[in-house]
Amino acid sequence: MIPYPDISPEIIRIGPVAVRWYGMMYLIGFAVSYLLVRYQINKKGLNLSKDFVESLYSYLIFGLLLGARLGYVVFYNLPYYIGHPLEVFAVWQGGMSFHGGMIGSVIAGVLFCRKFKIDAWQVADLIIAAAPIGIGLGRLGNFINGELYGRVTDAPWAMIFPGGGPFPRHPSQLYEFFLEGIVLFTVLWALKDKGFRTGALSSVFLILYGAFRFFVEFFREPDVQIGYILGFITMGQILSAAMTCLGLWIIYMRKKR
């Protein structure tokens, strides 16, 4: 067993205001993603201005945050929020869904591109090549917070998380950091200049993220309010399987056209 590192979730606190590692990870992720998108635009000579990209990221961040919260409400705890509708807005209590955030950012991005009559698939491929950086850093933030930990195990690298009881568990956040962050970024960045049809890179992201997340869910503790669906599968696996199927369908349909 490996000791869980004693890292404070707070970087610094000034009175009632605290800067936390979790939020800092996402800020760094967005910043690096923005810089890499600007790099791709300049390298490929695309007619997309700095103002366009900055406004696009404003839309994407808003869509991601709104979608992540609503996704958690709908996918993970709908009966509770039907009975307590005002708590939908209590984001400080936690509860965000990656899949919901992805849906929200996609809708926001498509609406923004339509507004300026820009090919949404082309923009999506630019964004998605850098997206795993933010995803991976977010998982590191989860690990530092001691949340979204794994299932009980006797693996030699297991850890006892502060909020996970007395039993050693899989550090599943680190599994996700490696697969959804490092591996996924490496694959997408290597493929981004291969001359594929627009939308192909986004489809690869959907397929691989869905497959990686589906796999890691076998080691991750299910959400307590849902547990296992049909006794053996988690909500995360259902949503991730849908992502992979959607990615395959998009490739088929765009190739068919």
pLDDT at 257 over 80: no
Alpha-carbon gap, residue 17 to 61, rounded angstroms:
22
**Residue 82 vs residues 74, 86, 88, 90, 224: alpha-carbon distances, Å:** 10, 9, 9, 14, 18
Q: How confident is the model at residue 14 (pLDDT cuts 50, 70, 90)?
A: confident
Q: Can you give the pLDDT at residue 84?
A: 87
Q: Can you give the pLDDT at residue 154?
A: 95
Q: Can you give the pLDDT at residue 215?
A: 98
pLDDT at 94 over 80: no
pLDDT at 23 over 90: no
Q: Can you give the pLDDT at residue 120?
A: 95
- pTM score, two decimals? 0.93
Look over the chain and give the mean of its residue pLDDT values, rounded to a whole number.
Answer: 93
Q: Helix, strand, or coil here: 16?
A: coil
Structural domain boundaries of the chain?
A: 121-257
Q: Can you give the pLDDT at residue 6?
A: 83
- Write out the two tokens for 192: 């981004």
152 in Cβ contact with 161 (< 8 Å): no
239 in Cβ contact with 99 (< 8 Å): yes
User: Of 202, 48, 209, whose CA–CA distance to 124 is shortest?
Assistant: 202
Quick one: the chain helix, strand, coil %, rounded to 5?
A: 65, 5, 30
pLDDT in tens, 216-235: 999 999 988 899 998 899 99
User: Of 58, 84, 44, whose CA–CA distance to 193 is shortest?
Assistant: 44
> Which residues are within 8 A (CB) of 114 and not within 5 positions of it... i.e. 6 or more apart?
120
> Which residues are within 8 A (CB) of 222 and not within 5 positions of it... i.e. 6 or more apart?
228, 234, 235, 236
Lowest mean pLDDT among 12-21, 105-114, 135-144, 191-200: 12-21
242 in Cβ contact with 97 (< 8 Å): no
DSSP secondary-structure letter at 222?
P
Alpha-carbon gap, residue 172 to 175, rounded angstroms:
5
Q: Can you give the pLDDT at residue 89?
A: 86
> What value does the mean pLDDT take over residues 69-88?
92
